[in-house]
Amino acid sequence: MDTYALFYTLLLLISAATSATVTAIVWRRRTAAGAWLVLVFTLALVEWTLTYAFYWMSSAPSTRLFWLNATYFGVCTVPTAFFLFIVTYTHHEHWISRSTLVLLAIEPVAAILLLWTDPWHNLFFAGLRTPESSTIL
Protein backbone atom coordinates (compact mmCIF):
# COMPACT_ATOMS: atom_id res chain seq x y z
CA MET A 1 0.00 0.00 0.00
CA ASP A 2 1.47 3.34 -0.98
CA THR A 3 1.71 6.33 1.34
CA TYR A 4 -1.31 8.13 -0.11
CA ALA A 5 -3.53 5.06 0.20
CA LEU A 6 -2.33 4.53 3.78
CA PHE A 7 -3.11 8.15 4.67
CA TYR A 8 -6.51 7.93 2.97
CA THR A 9 -7.29 4.68 4.81
CA LEU A 10 -6.34 6.32 8.10
CA LEU A 11 -8.71 9.22 7.37
CA LEU A 12 -11.49 6.76 6.55
CA LEU A 13 -10.92 4.89 9.83
CA ILE A 14 -10.99 8.17 11.77
CA SER A 15 -14.24 9.06 10.00
CA ALA A 16 -15.72 5.65 10.89
CA ALA A 17 -14.69 6.10 14.53
CA THR A 18 -16.26 9.56 14.61
CA SER A 19 -19.50 8.25 13.10
CA ALA A 20 -19.51 5.34 15.57
CA THR A 21 -19.10 7.82 18.44
CA VAL A 22 -22.05 9.86 17.17
CA THR A 23 -24.04 6.61 16.85
CA ALA A 24 -23.31 5.78 20.50
CA ILE A 25 -24.39 9.26 21.61
CA VAL A 26 -27.60 9.08 19.59
CA TRP A 27 -28.31 5.58 20.94
CA ARG A 28 -28.44 7.02 24.47
CA ARG A 29 -31.00 9.57 23.25
CA ARG A 30 -32.94 7.16 21.03
CA THR A 31 -36.31 8.21 22.47
CA ALA A 32 -35.99 11.69 20.93
CA ALA A 33 -37.95 12.47 17.79
CA GLY A 34 -36.09 11.34 14.68
CA ALA A 35 -33.35 9.60 16.66
CA TRP A 36 -33.90 6.24 14.98
CA LEU A 37 -33.34 7.88 11.59
CA VAL A 38 -30.10 9.45 12.81
CA LEU A 39 -29.10 5.99 14.08
CA VAL A 40 -29.73 4.46 10.66
CA PHE A 41 -27.88 7.37 9.02
CA THR A 42 -24.80 7.15 11.25
CA LEU A 43 -24.68 3.33 11.13
CA ALA A 44 -24.76 3.55 7.34
CA LEU A 45 -21.92 6.08 7.48
CA VAL A 46 -19.90 3.71 9.67
CA GLU A 47 -20.53 0.84 7.25
CA TRP A 48 -19.68 3.00 4.24
CA THR A 49 -16.39 4.32 5.61
CA LEU A 50 -15.25 1.01 7.13
CA THR A 51 -15.90 -1.03 4.02
CA TYR A 52 -14.22 1.59 1.86
CA ALA A 53 -11.21 1.56 4.20
CA PHE A 54 -11.12 -2.24 3.85
CA TYR A 55 -11.23 -1.76 0.08
CA TRP A 56 -8.08 0.38 0.22
CA MET A 57 -6.36 -2.06 2.60
CA SER A 58 -7.01 -5.07 0.36
CA SER A 59 -4.62 -6.18 -2.34
CA ALA A 60 -6.34 -9.10 -4.09
CA PRO A 61 -8.69 -7.96 -6.90
CA SER A 62 -11.53 -10.25 -5.79
CA THR A 63 -11.28 -8.98 -2.21
CA ARG A 64 -11.18 -5.37 -3.39
CA LEU A 65 -14.28 -5.96 -5.52
CA PHE A 66 -16.11 -7.52 -2.56
CA TRP A 67 -15.35 -4.53 -0.31
CA LEU A 68 -16.26 -2.07 -3.05
CA ASN A 69 -19.60 -3.83 -3.50
CA ALA A 70 -20.15 -3.95 0.28
CA THR A 71 -19.61 -0.18 0.41
CA TYR A 72 -22.82 0.36 -1.54
CA PHE A 73 -25.04 -0.79 1.32
CA GLY A 74 -24.02 2.37 3.16
CA VAL A 75 -23.88 4.49 0.01
CA CYS A 76 -27.49 3.64 -0.83
CA THR A 77 -28.79 3.94 2.74
CA VAL A 78 -27.30 7.33 3.69
CA PRO A 79 -29.32 9.59 1.33
CA THR A 80 -32.65 7.92 2.11
CA ALA A 81 -32.08 7.99 5.88
CA PHE A 82 -30.96 11.62 5.71
CA PHE A 83 -34.02 12.59 3.66
CA LEU A 84 -36.35 10.85 6.11
CA PHE A 85 -34.60 12.56 9.03
CA ILE A 86 -35.05 15.98 7.40
CA VAL A 87 -38.74 15.25 6.78
CA THR A 88 -39.11 14.33 10.46
CA TYR A 89 -37.02 17.28 11.67
CA THR A 90 -39.16 19.74 9.71
CA HIS A 91 -42.33 18.23 11.23
CA HIS A 92 -43.67 16.74 8.00
CA GLU A 93 -44.04 13.22 9.40
CA HIS A 94 -47.40 12.96 7.68
CA TRP A 95 -45.46 12.58 4.40
CA ILE A 96 -44.03 9.29 5.64
CA SER A 97 -46.32 6.32 5.07
CA ARG A 98 -45.75 2.69 4.20
CA SER A 99 -46.24 3.42 0.52
CA THR A 100 -43.76 6.31 0.69
CA LEU A 101 -41.19 4.08 2.39
CA VAL A 102 -41.70 1.39 -0.25
CA LEU A 103 -41.25 3.94 -3.03
CA LEU A 104 -38.12 5.37 -1.37
CA ALA A 105 -36.68 1.86 -1.05
CA ILE A 106 -37.06 0.97 -4.73
CA GLU A 107 -33.98 2.84 -5.99
CA PRO A 108 -31.51 1.69 -3.30
CA VAL A 109 -32.68 -1.92 -3.50
CA ALA A 110 -32.50 -1.86 -7.31
CA ALA A 111 -29.00 -0.36 -7.20
CA ILE A 112 -27.76 -2.99 -4.75
CA LEU A 113 -29.34 -5.81 -6.76
CA LEU A 114 -27.77 -4.50 -9.97
CA LEU A 115 -24.42 -4.17 -8.23
CA TRP A 116 -24.29 -7.69 -6.81
CA THR A 117 -25.55 -9.26 -10.04
CA ASP A 118 -23.23 -7.17 -12.23
CA PRO A 119 -21.02 -10.11 -13.33
CA TRP A 120 -24.03 -11.48 -15.24
CA HIS A 121 -25.16 -8.32 -17.05
CA ASN A 122 -22.40 -5.66 -16.74
CA LEU A 123 -24.94 -2.88 -16.21
CA PHE A 124 -23.40 -1.40 -13.08
CA PHE A 125 -19.69 -1.16 -13.88
CA ALA A 126 -20.17 -1.65 -17.65
CA GLY A 127 -17.67 -4.51 -17.63
CA LEU A 128 -14.96 -2.52 -15.83
CA ARG A 129 -13.27 -4.15 -12.88
CA THR A 130 -11.02 -2.68 -10.22
CA PRO A 131 -7.34 -2.83 -11.16
CA GLU A 132 -4.96 -4.81 -9.01
CA SER A 133 -3.60 -1.59 -7.56
CA SER A 134 -5.44 1.70 -7.42
CA THR A 135 -3.88 5.01 -6.68
CA ILE A 136 -5.40 8.07 -5.15
CA LEU A 137 -3.41 10.65 -7.07
> Which of 55, 69, 52, 64 has its CA nearest to residue 16?
52
pLDDT, residue 137, reads 47
Helices (H) and strands (E) in the chain, counts: 5, 0
pLDDT, residue 131, reads 56
The neighbour count for residue 28, using CB atoms within 10 Å, is: 9
pLDDT, residue 119, reads 86
Q: Taking the model in full, what pTM does it have?
A: 0.84
Q: Which residues, at least 6 apart from 127, have a Cβ–Cβ distance to it below 8 Å?
A: none
Domain ranges of the chain: 3-121
**Cα gap 75→47, rounded to integer Å:** 9
- Would you give per-residue pLDDT tens digits along the chain (137 residues)? 688 889 999 999 999 999 999 999 999 999 988 899 999 999 999 999 999 999 999 989 889 989 999 999 999 999 999 999 999 999 999 999 999 999 999 999 999 999 999 888 888 877 666 555 555 54
94-123 burial: b if 16+ Cβ within 10 Å, else e:
eeeeeeeeeebeeebeeebeebeebeeeee
